[in-house]
Structure 1
Amino acid sequence: MHLALIMDGNGRWAKQHLKPRIFGHKEGAKKIREITEFCAKSGIKYLSLYAFSTENWKRPKAEVEYLMKLLGEYLVKERQTYLESNIVFKSIGDISKLSLELQQEIKSLETQTQAECNGLTQILALNYGAKDELRRTFMILRQKQECEINEESIAQALDTSGIPDVDMLVRTGGEMRLSNFLLWQSAYAELFFTQTLWPSFSAQELESMIAEFYQRNRRFGGL
């Protein structure tokens, strides 16, 4: 299964607890480990997490700077977790917009885990937007003048090349939209929405959703 998660509600969670927004982001980062480890133990093959979108640059400068700092700390601190839990790390999105230090940490973690691990693949979407991904994809295909443009060639040029389409997409935080996340890959995904804010989301709630997923009849346009 390929499970995708839109992790929404960090700021509102912090507000409910009378804390600054950055406190919510810090708690949200902790939740990533819990959910990732649950997925690894549950036999899920791919887990995509919407960490930072192309639109998130519009947020206050101080918040963006904190998110970048938090990302750097996460990549360093969680390296051992990936290796011990046999998790492959992969990023999608245009990471060229990130600092050189962050780019190096991302590439280093990708290289090491891809060489040493073969379990769950955790896909972290960083400076990612589905429309931007498609724009970059079509630029790649245009450069390959001899390439026929069809669904297969587009899929192979996407950031998620070699990864199956999304089977199940979950959004926390009460909003009911995809927010420019994996639009191509989620064409036939089963959608789940919950009022639970991301830092309060639990493996138990996800497990219940997965059970419901397996009860749904996926027809892919057929009968």
Structure 2
Amino acid sequence: MSVKGPQHVAIILDGNGRWATAQGLPRTDGHEQGAKQIKTIALAASKMGIKYLTIYCFSTENWNRSVGEVNYLMNMPQRLLQNKQINDFNNEQIRINHIGRTTKMPAKTLEILQDSLAKTKDNKGMILTFAFDYGAVEEMLSAINNIIAEKIPVVDETILANHLYTKDLPLVDLLIRPGGEKRLSNFLLFQSRYAELYFSDKYWPEFDEKCLLAAIMDYNNRNRRFGGITDNE
């Protein structure tokens, strides 16, 4: 079911641990359920006609969590991007993309990510971007250092944008954060400068297709002015 709505939707995955705690389960069970929800929402978004979906899976600050939780999260791509899941994405023509650092990832995690990119590279449908070991500040610092190394004398918005991980993605139209918190958490700060923000009290593992549709309907009722004003204002 295609619906009128945003071109690029970004989602901060929040509330996995709190969902698990509320169920009397270990935090890792929340991450497991949250990973399953990624596929559910990705397939739903594709059917709704969304062209770009960016999922914030693991931030540069998440390394500060317990060793056990970090190790579990680093192994999530191996469960999320198995052959069956890749086949489901291929059937929907979803192309997988990654933004973020790769230097700190375990070799197996990086291998799984790169393999999923290769297996979906010819798909022509929605681009599903995993922001994994991503942080907006690190992204901008990396871009600035690369610009300095290239000795570019004058830097404008286009040059900076072309040095970001997201250089092939459009600006974010709608940024969704489930879990009840209301902050950006170092996610796509440059790319979300005119995004509409939508906050949900639902934890990510319970954020379903109806919740996504509600966010899109809310977006469609917004008046996006991009810093300007309308004739009636």
Same fold (TM over 0.5): yes
Aligned positions of 1:129-140 closer than 5 A = 129-140=135-146
Map 1:102-121 onto structure 2 (within 5 A): 102-115=109-122, 117-121=123-127
Counterpart of 1:37 in structure 2 is 43
Q: Determine the C-alpha separation between the residues in 2 that align with 1:147 and 1:137.
A: 14
Q: Which residue of 2 aligns with 1:72?
A: 78
Q: Is residue 178 of structure 2 the alignment partner of residue 208 of structure 1?
A: no
Alignment TM-score, normalising by the size of structure 1: 0.97
Structure 1 146/16 Cα, relative in aligned 2: closer, same or farther at 3 Å?
Answer: closer
| Residue pairs, 1:159-174, within 5 angstroms | 159-174=165-180
Summarize deviations over 1:48-87 as a string: whole Å, max 9, x none.
0000000101111011111112222212242112211110
Q: Which residue of 1 aligns with 2:4?
A: none
Mapped to 2, the partners of 1:189 and 1:29 lie a distance apart of: 25
Amino acid in the other structure paired with 2:155 = I
Answering whether residue 88 of structure 2 is matched by residue 81 of structure 1, we say yes
Query: 1:141 offset after TM fit, Å?
Result: 0.8
Shift of 1:158: 0.5
In the alignment, the residues of structure 1 paired with residue 206 and residue 59 of structure 2 have an alpha-carbon distance, to the nearest angstrom, of: 21
Asked whether 1:98 is paired with 2:102, we answer no
**C-alpha RMSD of matched pairs (Å):** 1.0
Q: Mind listing any 5+ residue stretches in structure 2 that lack a counterpart?
A: 1-6
Please say if residues 14 and 179 of structure 2, whose CA atoms lie closer than 8 Å, have aligned partners that are also in contact: yes
2:163 is the alignment partner of 1:145: no
Runs of 4+ in 1 over 4 A off after TM superposition: none
Separation of aligned partners in 1, 2:214 and 2:71: 36
Distance 1:112 1:141 in 2: 32
Q: Aligned equivalents of 1:9 and 1:180: distance in 2?
A: 17
Matches of 1:94 and 1:76, distance apart in 2: 22
Is 1:12–2:18 an aligned residue pair? Answer: yes
Deviations 1:162-189 (A, max 9, x none): 2100000000100000000000000000
1:131-152 deviation line (CA, Å, top 9, x unaligned):
0000101111111213531100
Determine the C-alpha separation between the residues in 1 that align with 2:222 and 2:118.
37
For 1:200 and 1:79, the matched residues in 2 are separated by 23
CA offset at residue 194 of structure 1?
A: 0.8
- Conservation of the 8 A alpha-carbon contact between 1:31 and 1:199: yes
Whether the 8 Å contact between 1:96 and 1:103 is mirrored in structure 2 is no
**Contact 2:75–2:109 (Cα < 8 Å) also in 1:** no
* More helix as a share of residues: 1
SS in 2 for 1:97: coil
Using a 3 Å threshold, how does the CA distance of structure 1 residues 71 and 188 change in structure 2: closer, same or farther?
A: same
- Identify the residue that residue 125 of structure 1 maps to in structure 2: 131
In structure 1, C-alpha distance between the alignment counterparts of 2:109 and 2:153, rounded to whole Å: 33
Q: TM-score, normalised by structure 2?
A: 0.93
Give the letter for the 1:130 counterpart. Answer: A
